[in-house]
Structure 1
Amino acid sequence: MAKKTSTITFRIDQEFEKGLRKEAEEKRVSLNTLANQILGDHVDLGQFMKKFGIIEMSKGSFKELLNVLDEKNIINFAKTIGSKEPKDFILFKWKKLSSESVSGFIKMYFEHCGYGMCDILTEEGENTVSVHHDFGKKGSIFLKSFLEAIIQSTLERECKITISENSVSLTFSN
């Protein structure tokens, strides 16, 4: 089923137009498609992130933070942030806790925050979240604990987790 669209007209600063046209050309998409993506990101995520006080951090800063922490502190840090705000955010945005809303949150969060490439597969009553990142072993330890805390605090389910130097794979039941 195709999404319904609307036509609107508004003015923007010429410098913004130049920047948008350049980005659209680089991404090989129409200006309309790029504008839809930008506005969609704001409506689907940006306004919620702002309401919840989410800050953005460069990948370099995040990696540096992980490097100064030992494994125990990384796990505690990840579990703390993974078990508190995601549940409130999911309830605020989706109004219910379900495998679909939790998976939607994870996908959206990873795309926005830049923790890595995230793929979610749902089949035969199970969801598998796979993340590829470039934060090394400590990044995998953080993401494993963070994702596990999200699943346990929202869905109260156990997870099967596999990690490597730069990837994390987590499976939980629907």
Structure 2
Amino acid sequence: MRQEAEQRHVSLNTLANQIFASFIEWEMNANKAGWMILPKEVIKTVFNSMSDEKVTAMASLAAVHAKEANLAMKGVDSFDAYYSITKNRLARSGFHLTEQKSDNAVRLHIQHHMGEKWSTYFKAQCQKVIEHHGHRCNIITTDNTVSVEVMR
């Protein structure tokens, strides 16, 4: 642990706190909420083999799962629970995240390098969940990025 703390340029105590926080925020309940680990190339290949209609159907299924995940991991189905879980999941997937918050909006820019179909899937899933929680959103996609702006 000392070596890892040195590589991250943090104290051993800070690293221990990060490990505990990670366990509480994700590892403790992710399996109960139905999450699993798959190689990115497998997911990318699956999405690229599907029609746009099938990708949208999968996004709808994922939106339903988001409610279950919110309840299992956070104990409440809310936008804040969804947003927290989504940020954790994306970071654990190795995607680069940039977040900006203001009084009336939150913006999340995701660099994923998973291709156009994954962007389409993530956009559709986010829209459904965000609208379910009564917020408006603007989502812009490219083949390898998704930018989500949620108005509060």
- In the superposition, the TM-score normalised over structure 2's length comes to 0.83
- What SS class does the counterpart of residue 29 from structure 1 fall into? coil
User: Cα deviations across residues 6-34 of structure 1 (Å, max 9, x unaligned)?
Assistant: xxxxxxxxxxxxxx344333323333322
Match of 1:13 in 2: none
Q: Distance in 2 between matches of 1:121 and 1:99?
A: 16
1:78 aligns with 2:59: yes
- Of 110, 120, 124, the residue aligned with 1:141 is 120
Q: How does 1:63-142 map to 2 (within 5 A)?
A: 63-81=44-62, 83-112=63-92, 114=93, 116-142=95-121
- Of 139, 148, 152, the residue aligned with 1:170 is 148
Q: Offset at 1:142?
A: 1.8
Match of 2:17 in 1: 36
Q: How does 1:16-31 map to 2 (within 5 A)?
A: 20-31=1-12
Q: Distance in 2 between matches of 1:53 and 1:95?
A: 15
Specify the structure having the higher radius of gyration (Cα). 1
Q: CA RMSD in A?
A: 2.2
Q: Offset at 1:93?
A: 4.1
Match of 2:138 in 1: 160
AA paired with 2:90?
F
Q: Offset at 1:49?
A: 0.5
- What SS class does the counterpart of residue 85 from structure 1 fall into? helix
AA paired with 1:161?
I
Q: Distance in 1 between matches of 2:57 and 2:147?
A: 20
Match of 1:16 in 2: none
AA paired with 2:95?
G
Q: Distance in 1 between matches of 2:24 and 2:40?
A: 24
AA paired with 1:157?
H
AA paired with 2:111?
H
- Count of aligned residue pairs for this structure pair: 152
- What SS class does the counterpart of residue 10 from structure 2 fall into? coil
Q: Distance in 2 between matches of 1:159 and 1:168?
A: 12
- In the superposition, the TM-score normalised over structure 1's length comes to 0.74
Q: Is the 8 A contact 2:116 2:144 kept in 1?
A: yes
AA paired with 1:142?
Y
Gaps of 5+ in 2: none
